[in-house]
Amino acid sequence: MTHYAHGPRFERRKSHGGRGFTLIELMVTITILGILLAWAVPSFKDASLSSRLTAFANDLVASAQIARSEAIKRPSDFRIAQGTFGALIFPPDVVGATAATFTVCRATPIGKQKRTVRITASGGTSVARVDSATTCP
């Protein structure tokens, strides 16, 4: 003979179709999300800074190309990058043009990524990523 217990203490909990999360499931999910964010945020920040550094180097290239174009359009020398390291001069004809190499670094936070911008005497430009062991000057 089988006996069944009756009453509120012995009734099975009724399921509501599996809606909702338990506290343990929610805590495990939040913990995993926190670990993934802690791992991903520094990478994203470094990638963002690297992208900005490349953009600054490309702006320098664009300035050099505009300066060369203006020097050809107007029959006079055109200068860019007047500063502590001198000037880059573009004459109206290629004769007497100077080649230059610039290193673009980020000031804050100081990092080891650099971009080298090369401008040839004929106006050709290139940007190269340099990952070196030394920080920027």
Q: How many domains does the chain have?
A: 1
Residues 6+ apart with CB under 8 A from 88: 64, 67, 79, 80, 81, 98, 100, 119
Tokens of 126: 């290139």
Confidence of residue 102 (pLDDT cuts 50, 70, 90): confident
Residue 84: the pLDDT is: 60
101 lies in some domain: yes
pLDDT (mean) for 39-55: 81
Instruction: Confirm if 75 and 92 have CB atoms less than 8 A apart.
Output: yes
Nearest to 102 by CA among 66, 56, 135: 56
92 lies in some domain: yes
Residues of the chain above pLDDT 70, percent: 70
Residue 119: the pLDDT is: 82
Residue 13: the pLDDT is: 56
Query: Which residues constitute the domain of residue 58?
Result: 23-131
What does the alpha-carbon distance between residue 26 and residue 29 come to, in Å, rounded to a whole number?
Answer: 5
Which of 7-16, 27-36, 94-103, 109-118 tops mean pLDDT? 27-36
